[in-house]
A and B are shown apart, each in its own frame.
Chain A
């Protein structure tokens, strides 16, 4: 069982709600994913345009909501977004993300650490989205973050585990859950992340942009379960040379006709 800030999660697959073609498709995919933690964003309302009410149906599913601070470019903006989300959704949980660069959406480590410190002191349960930086992840843990969410590759890129070597160091060193977030493009990549010992993964684009999001959500759920089980079972050692699996006694030669 995965526990973050005292909350137990039966599923180690967390899901985002963005980019789905409509609310019904999103809800079907979330149900198929088995996710018990799903992300949302906060946005200034456009009163002239009607939009799908996703909050009502999401609340009805009973999943835990994890609002994010997407759109924030500074610590100050992120703190403001967190306060908005807390007031509106009644949750102290916040996915802290600050990415001023619109091309690669790289998280700003300086602003993120500053905002994390402030929000933790203010009583928030902070899950920061960060680059796969082991030093930064330790700093975030020190200021009280409930988990760290290092990226596999740029948000929505489906590039997979580009940062694998550094994620391994983060997993090795962390004393809080490590949730690998962003860039996981295929169930096999999510499985690999879990085999490495990640505590959970967060997937959005790979499911939402699939031809069949509901089926893809199920595939990710199975992959995450398989990867976690493999991690617990213990992967075999990787060797540079062949290591025989059958006895090499040479009996075939010994018994061969002359």
Chain B
């Protein structure tokens, strides 16, 4: 296992886990989020292919009510 951060919270994930796998593990609907890895937007068609590394900072953004 390695340690990453998910929206500021520490999270232990299997080594080489993909970004998609992290979301799946947390039961997060992939269609409901945009994903930022270490301050870079990761297009959703790459979530399967990018593997987590220790210390990664993963941030999820969502659409909310607004004017």
> What DSSP secondary structure best describes chain B's contact surface?
strand
With a CB–CB cut-off of 8 A, which chain B residues contact A43?
Answer: 61-64
Asked if residues A55 and B61 are in contact (CB atoms below 8 Å), the reply is: no
* A87 contacts B7, C-beta separation under 8 Å: no
Contact with A along B29-41 (1 / 0, CB 8 A): 0001110100001
User: Interface size bucket, A side?
Assistant: 35 or more
- What chain B residues lie within 8 Å of A16 (beta carbons)? 66-67
Is A45 a contact partner of B61 (Cβ separation < 8 A)?
Answer: yes
Q: Which of B7, B59, B62, B65 contacts A88 (CB 8 A)?
A: B62
- Seen from chain B, the residues whose Cβ lies within 8 Å of a Cβ on chain A are 6-7, 9, 26, 32-34, 36, 41, 43-44, 59-67
Residue ranges of A at the interface with B (Cβ–Cβ < 8 Å) = 16-20, 26, 39-47, 51-55, 65, 67-68, 70, 80, 83-85, 87-89, 155-156, 182, 202, 204-205
| A–B pairs, 8, beta carbons within 8 Å | A39-B66, A41-B65, A42-B34, A43-B61, A44-B59, A46-B7, A51-B64, A84-B61
Q: Which of B32, B36, B59 contacts A55 (CB 8 A)?
A: B32
B41 touches A80 (CB 8 A): yes
- Tell me whether A44 and B65 are in contact (CB under 8 A): no
B9 touches A88 (CB 8 A): no
Q: Is the CB of B67 within 8 A of A88?
A: no
Chain B residues, CB < 8 A from A205: 67
